[in-house]
Structure 1
Amino acid sequence: MIDTQKINDLSNKIKGLVGSSPLADVEKNIHALLKSAFTKMELVSREEFDVQTEVLRATRLKLEALEAKLAAIESSTDSTIDKTINKPNA
């Protein structure tokens, strides 16, 4: 779910700035803090997002097809009812 590569890249950049100074502990804490924050956000990967986007697109297409079918059935039913009501008695 979480792109740990991006977290590691950010961590490495901070590590490069800090070097082997006492600030190395700060870098470790920042890394842990960022990882924890991203985990709590319940982020999804780009792949998961794209899959859900495709599912939504397919669902919309099915909904539109069903709406068209329903409209045709309703139209046909209305037409049949009108013919029955307006039929002269023999």
Structure 2
Amino acid sequence: MIHQKLIDSLSGQFGQLLSNRPDIPGQQELQDQMRTMLQGTFARLDLVTREEFDAQQAVLLRTRERLEQLEARLQALETDSAPAAEDNDSTPA
């Protein structure tokens, strides 16, 4: 899961930062609190993986292409039917 990988990475970097300062008391508690805070923050975000994003982008591209094809087809049908409608309107009743 993207959240857990990111949390682990950030927590590891934070731990490395703290390991360079052994004089800071309560390092483990601080790391635990940081991990909890990160988990809460990322839980509120609506994140997706790059693979999920790319898949949805491909679906959107195909949908747009199909929409453009349908719009062109509709335009052609409207253009073809317009002269026939004008001819019917001009005939005497």
Rounded Cα–Cα distance in structure 1 between residues aligned with 2:43 and 2:53: 16
Q: Which runs of 5+ in 2 are unaligned?
A: none
Where in structure 2 are the equivalents of 1:55-66 lying within 5 Å?
55-66=59-70
User: RMSD between aligned alpha carbons?
Assistant: 1.9
Where has structure 1 moved over 4 Å in runs of 4 or more? none
In the alignment of these two chains, the number of paired residues is 88
Could you tell me the percent identity over the aligned residues?
32
* Counterpart pick for 1:34 among 38, 41, 44: 38
User: How does the TM-score come out when normalised to structure 1?
Assistant: 0.82
**Conserved? CA contact 1:18–1:24, under 8 Å:** no
The match for 1:72 is 76
Q: Which runs of 5+ in 1 are unaligned?
A: none
Deviation at 1:86, TM superposition (A): 4.4
Rounded Cα–Cα distance in structure 1 between residues aligned with 2:45 and 2:38: 11
Deviation at 1:54, TM superposition (A): 0.8
User: How does the TM-score come out when normalised to structure 2?
Assistant: 0.80
Q: What are the superposed Cα offsets for residues 45-77 of structure 1, whole Å, 9 maximum, x if unpaired?
A: 111111111111111001100100100110111
